[in-house]
Amino acid sequence: MLLITRDYDMAVNVDGSVSVFQGRLMSPREAAEATRGRGIAAEYTSKWHLCGDVNEQLFALCAAGSPPGFAVGSFKTPGGAVFASFILQMKNQQARFLLPLSTEKCIRFLEQAERTGLCLSLGRNGAEQAMLAPFAVEDMLEPLRRHAKLLSRLPRDLTAEDLRFAGQQLMSFDGAPSIMGEYALDGISLTVVLDNM
């Protein structure tokens, strides 16, 4: 992981053991533009980026180099919207990224990220510091890509009820169980990524 200083603020709300933030999906071109002149290696900037914030506990675990667990999944709302979830876990803390699978940018992301890899940009609870955590996601995105391609052919707008259901699902400790079996979850940092809509 790489520690950087960022020049934007994405924090929306922090509440107890569950923190909620606004996030962003960035193409490799957008990531390169955003980090130009900052001396960040292409190993990081050549990937798609999911950007968001995490709570202080998770940020400290990232900085300490705790080994991460990583998982990708999807779920459907009662209204028919499909969302992807990208989950990073370190010990008893999870960062969860919620991304609607309904836009051209999302389809490009899912098609290209298997080749380029994925980088999670994890901001420090609304502060200037951020960690860049690259992940290889080969063979993890195919089910999401199939969903996204199918959904792109169906004209349907995301509703407030879809978003509310998806957010509540991932704000719940039961919404995504621990991916590191030896640790019970103690904190969730949820990033909702809507700028791709």
Q: What is the DSSP string of 137-184?
A: -TTTSHHHHHHHHHHHTS--PPPHHHHHHHHHHHHSTTSS--SSTT--
Q: How far is CA 164 from the centre of its chain?
A: 17
pLDDT reported for residue 61? 94
Domain boundaries defined on the chain = 2-193
Q: Residue 175: how many CB atoms within 10 A of its CB? A: 19
- State whether residue 78 is helix, strand or coil: coil
Q: Residue 192: how many CB atoms within 10 A of its CB? A: 22
Catalogue the E-assigned strands of the chain: 2-5, 11-15, 18-26, 48-54, 69-76, 82-90, 93-100, 118-124, 129-135, 187-193
141: amino acid identity, one letter: L
Which pLDDT tens digits describe the chain residue by residue (197 residues)?
444 344 434 444 344 689 899 999 999 999 889 888 878 887 888 899 999 999 999 999 998 988 899 999 988 899 888 899 999 999 999 999 999 887 778 888 988 998 888 999 998 887 788 888 888 887 888 888 777 766 665 556 788 899 899 999 999 998 899 999 899 999 999 999 986 55
